[in-house]
Amino acid sequence: MSLTILFMPESAYGPTNNSIGIGDILRNRGHRVVFAAEASWKGKLEALGFEEDLVDLAPPAEEEQDAGQFWKDFIRETAPEYRKSTLEQLATVTKPIWDSLIDGAKYCEPQLKEIIERVQPDVIVEDNVITFPALLTAGKKFVRIVSCNPLEVRGEGIAPVFSGLPADDRAEWDAFRAEYDRTHREIWSAFNAWCVEQGTEPLPDLDFIHEGDLNLYVFPEILDYTDARPLADNWHRLDSSVRETDEDFELPFERNEGSLVYFSLGSLGSSDVELMQRVIDVLGTTPHQIIVSKGPLHEEIKLADNMWGAEFLPQTKIIPLCDLVITHGGNNTTTEALHFGKPMILLPLFWDQYDNAQRVDELGYGVRLSTYAFTDEELKGALDRLLGDGELRARLAAAGEEIRGRDGLRKAADLIEGLGQK
């Protein structure tokens, strides 16, 4: 039975690319796939074969914007706050992000109702961190995808989300939870009341999103927390969800005797040009060859002689060629690096990036560095240690092979398809 499936991803590249990967499988199976993405994605999804029925999360800009431009601007404006601890960021980064997300959800609620009326989906799939009531009150089967670290699904046995705190030391957990309550209780209460007014059930305490009929989360089993926080039967792990729509890639240079390293702070983190340049300047003193994803401010970034880079790169085709990944710890890049069995150096900035960086580090699959305080010697030492650890690299290669064999893309498509055909 052919289904109509409506995807609504967050306007960042990670969740949108995840939805693209799953949607492409479903479209190739003969289902109608429609994206209710944010308006700055206009034309980019249609070019991949999807229908677009887009939404504005704020009054439309007078000039055409790049995809996800709102969050790029937000990151650039709040970059000084990333030098603060995760506890301090709750008031100056995390809460303002929730404020913006809430404003967007309220603004687009009438548009979403119109889109659902036009599209008449059998299944609605949301890859975001916040509830859009129209998606829940439409009377359609609803799928929630978590493209962030799964500490987002809370539990007493796991560290608080956004904290970056270690799993085996609970000393600071309660203080972080108390500060989250202090900084977020008021906005959560108001948003919860608004959602209920729109016809939803009340939100779980201090959570900004409801569960779905089906819940999927993207995170490899080797990093997962389910031993400390089991999940209900309607939750399913996708060990990875690596899209197959990236263009092919061939190295534009000859390999030398050094290692090949991929460096990316993501489409958002790369807006911090000062940090990008700091890392690049250190990497320029190493014997390795570096591929750099330069991001939207690419013209302001100067590469060293041992580097090649561009504004946008087909990441899923580049990581398999490399020996190591340097990343901000976004869930997309973290899971893709493990999908291809690569060790990581992590430089977290905000949100769940600290949680991913901590998890990779504490389980020994990479090294978390202090993003703004690392020394040249620390970065180069982490490179040497990870690249020289043959046992770790063999273990990661085997883990990557197992992750790829689990085929998260098709598992997600099977589950969504099965829900729609019940």
Distance of alpha carbon 179 from the chain centroid:
24
Instruction: Render pLDDT for 167-226 as a digit per residue (tens, 0 to 9).
Output: 999 999 999 999 999 999 999 999 999 999 999 999 999 999 999 999 999 999 999 999
Q: Give the chain as a 3 state SS string.
A: CCCEEEEEECCCHHHHHHHHHHHHHHHHCCCEEEECCEHHHCCCCHHHCCEECCECCCCCCCCCCCCCHHHHHHHHHHHHHHHCCHHHHHHHHHHHHHHHHHHHHHHHHHHHHHHHHHHCCCEEEEECCCCCHHHHCCCCEEEEEECCCHHHCCCCCCCCCCCCCCCCCCCCHHHHHHHHHHHHHHHHHHHHHHHHHCCCCCCCCCCCCCCCCEEEEECCHHHCCCCCCCCCCCEEEECCCCCCCCCCCCCCCCCCCCCEEEEECHHHHCCCHHHHHHHHHHHCCCCCEEEEECCCCHHHCCCCCCEEEECCCCHHHHHHHCCEEEECCCHHHHHHHHHCCCCEEECCCCCCHHHHHHHHHHCCCEEECCCCCCCHHHHHHHHHHHHCCHHHHHHHHHHHHHHHHHCHHHHHHHHHHHHHCC
Whole-angstrom CA distances from 403 to 221, 397, 406 are 8, 10, 5
Per-residue pLDDT tens, the chain, 422 aa: give them.
899 999 999 988 888 989 999 999 999 999 999 999 999 899 999 999 999 999 999 887 767 666 556 666 766 677 788 889 999 999 999 999 999 999 999 999 999 999 999 999 999 999 999 999 999 999 999 999 999 999 999 999 999 999 999 999 999 999 999 999 999 999 999 999 999 999 999 999 999 999 999 999 999 999 999 999 999 999 999 999 888 878 889 999 999 888 999 999 987 788 888 999 999 999 999 999 999 999 887 888 999 999 999 988 999 999 999 999 999 999 999 999 999 999 999 999 999 999 999 999 999 999 999 999 999 999 999 999 999 999 999 999 999 999 999 999 999 999 999 999 98
Structural domains for the chain: 4-242+407-420 (3.40.50.2000), 260-405 (3.40.50.2000)
pLDDT on residue 197 = 98
Q: How far apart are CA 278 and CA 375, in angstroms?
A: 10
Q: Which amino acid is at 162?
A: F
Q: Say what the pLDDT of residue 287 is.
A: 94
Instruction: Report pLDDT for 13.
Output: 80
How far apart, in whole angstroms, are the C-alpha atoms of residue 273 and residue 253?
Answer: 25
Q: Mark 332-364 as b/e (b = at least 16 C-beta within 10 Å).
A: bbbbbbbbbbbbbbbbbbbbbbbbbbbbbbeee
Give the pLDDT confidence score for residue 299 in this predicted structure. Answer: 85
Q: Check residue 67 and give its pLDDT.
A: 57
∠ CA 368-374-376, rounded to 5°:
115
Beta bridge partners of 73: none
**Strand 344-346 relative to strand 324-327: parallel, antiparallel, unpaired?**
parallel
User: Which residue type occupies 211?
Assistant: E
Please tell me the predicted confidence (pLDDT) of residue 53: 96
**Structure confidence at residue 158 (pLDDT):** 97
Instruction: State how far the Cα of 305 lies from the Cα of 284, in Å rounded to an integer.
Output: 7
